[in-house]
Amino acid sequence: MRRWLLVVALVALAVLAAAGIAAAANGGFTPQHAHSPNAHRINQAYWLILGITTFIFVLVETALVVFVVKYRSRGRGRTVEGFQVYGHRRLELIWTAIPIGIIVVIFSFVFYKLPGIADAPKASAAGANLAITVDAHQFYWQFTYPNGATSIDELHLPVGRVAELKIRSEDVAHSWWIPQLGGKTDAIPGKVNHTWYEPGKTGTFVGQCAEFCGLFHERMLARVVVTSDADYRTFVGAGAAKALGKAEWQGVCAKCHGMQGQGDYGPAISSNPTLAQRPSLEDVIRNGRGKMPPVGNNWSRAQLRALEAYVKASVYKGAAGGG
């Protein structure tokens, strides 16, 4: 009796745990809702594989329980062997053919969907495809738009237009991933990879680096802000330049040194004269220092000037006085 109670309790706990995970959706057993055609196709492949594997799991576990109950010992001694079956050609052919058929179905479906996942649609009447460069750094994302505008950790896109992303890394291996817009794409030093999005609704879609890239990997988050075409043009036309210095400080510097330069993983720098001296600031940004990587080794002059202006106005507290 105790054995059966233990079995029932374990089954009940497993069911409750599975139900909780399933109810969570979007982070449980199911992928997040897709808002780009390529993400839709990835989800369709996921659901096909999940459906087949769930059916197999239920079938096998049900058969296991039935066999355990039906062929239990019924008081026989442990040394007594049960009835032995030697060979069954038809059964063996069936359980070989069925898995092969399942694999063929999965492979056929995935390869049918693959071109629509990997290949960006052609330019349409809605406008030419946007060509955007995504540069991965320890520990932030930098986005460069067709007109040369730059943003940090926050990619802006217009709804309904195709954006082709060219993904690179400036230091170590990273992985670009916005689950609701597409699959993971590696950012590898010395290699350029590509992905694309065609957002179907406005909103903010979050993601993060999906490749362990160092001690601050968990802070390498990303957001894709999808707006109307007019709002997108306003942002890349003037908004990105106005927000750049603050975005660089918050996305690049403050992750280690604190929002006010008060120190965190990195040392306190709010009173460090380097912040107020253009040559010194540029040197440490481009070349790094100590444990600090060269966070801005590919920055333009405009990016450096934007950071310099922001830290002088909002972070630098003046050199500490001597005693």
Query: What's the rounded mean pLDDT across residues 55-70?
Result: 89
Pair (65, 135) in one structural domain: no
pTM listed for this prediction:
0.84
The count of structural domains within the chain is: 2
Query: What's the rounded mean pLDDT across residues 74-83?
Result: 75
Pair (35, 96) in one structural domain: yes
Pair (184, 323) in one structural domain: yes
Pair (152, 52) in one structural domain: no
Span 86-98, pLDDT tens digits: 788 888 899 899 9
Whether the predicted pLDDT of 27 surpasses 60: no
The CATH number of whichever domain residue 275 belongs to comes to 2.60.40.420
Residue scoring higher pLDDT (127 or 166): 166
Contacts 24+ apart (CB under 8 A), 277-285: 278/304, 278/308, 281/307, 281/308, 281/311
Please report whether residue 21 resides in a domain.
Answer: no
Q: Measured between alpha carbons, how far is 200 from 181 in angstroms, rounded to an integer?
A: 9
Pair (175, 283) in one structural domain: yes
Axis-axis angle for helices 89-118, 37-70 (nearest 10):
160
Which pLDDT belongs to residue 322? 45
SS3 of residue 209 by DSSP: coil
The residue type at 267: P
Q: Measured between alpha carbons, how far is 190 from 242 in angstroms, rounded to an integer?
A: 31
Whether the predicted pLDDT of 25 surpasses 60: no
Which pLDDT belongs to residue 117? 92
Query: What's the rounded mean pLDDT across residues 36-49?
Result: 95
Residue scoring higher pLDDT (323 or 106): 106
Query: What's the rounded mean pLDDT across residues 257-266?
Result: 90
Pair (190, 100) in one structural domain: no
Whether the predicted pLDDT of 126 surpasses 80: no
The answer, yes or no, to whether the previous bond of 107 is cis (omega within 30 of 0) is no
Please report whether residue 205 resides in a domain.
Answer: yes
Classify the phi-psi angles of 49: left when phi > 0, otherwise alpha if psi is within -120 to 50, otherwise beta: alpha
SS3 of residue 58 by DSSP: helix
Query: What's the rounded mean pLDDT across residues 147-170?
Result: 96
Tokens of 25: 């959706």
Please report whether residue 20 resides in a domain.
Answer: no
Pair (280, 160) in one structural domain: yes
Whether the predicted pLDDT of 78 surpasses 80: no
Tokens of 118: 């990997």
Pair (155, 43) in one structural domain: no
Please report whether residue 64 resides in a domain.
Answer: yes
The pLDDT confidence band at residue 215, using thresholds 50, 70 and 90, is confident
Which pLDDT belongs to residue 181? 96
Please report whether residue 242 resides in a domain.
Answer: yes
Pair (153, 227) in one structural domain: yes
Q: What is the mean pLDDT of the chain?
A: 88
Pair (53, 180) in one structural domain: no
Give the residue from 247, 245, 220 showing the smallest Cα distance to 140: 220
Domain end call among 61, 95, 119: 119
The CATH number of whichever domain residue 43 belongs to comes to 1.10.287
Residue scoring higher pLDDT (27 or 174): 174
Please report whether residue 3 resides in a domain.
Answer: no
Which pLDDT belongs to residue 23? 55
Residue scoring higher pLDDT (91 or 133): 133
Pair (256, 176) in one structural domain: yes
Question: Which value, to the nearest 10 degrees, does the dihedral of the CA atoms of residues 211, 26, 152, 244 take?
Answer: -170
Q: Measured between alpha carbons, how far is 56 from 51 in angstroms, rounded to an integer?
A: 9
Please report whether residue 1 resides in a domain.
Answer: no
Domain that holds residue 149: 130-323
Please report whether residue 4 resides in a domain.
Answer: no
Contacts 24+ apart (CB under 8 A), 233-236: 233/158, 235/149, 235/151, 235/156, 236/145, 236/146, 236/147, 236/149, 236/156
Which pLDDT belongs to residue 323? 38
Whether the predicted pLDDT of 42 surpasses 50: yes
Count CB-CB contacts under 10 A for residue 240: 23
SS3 of residue 169 by DSSP: strand
SS3 of residue 31 by DSSP: coil
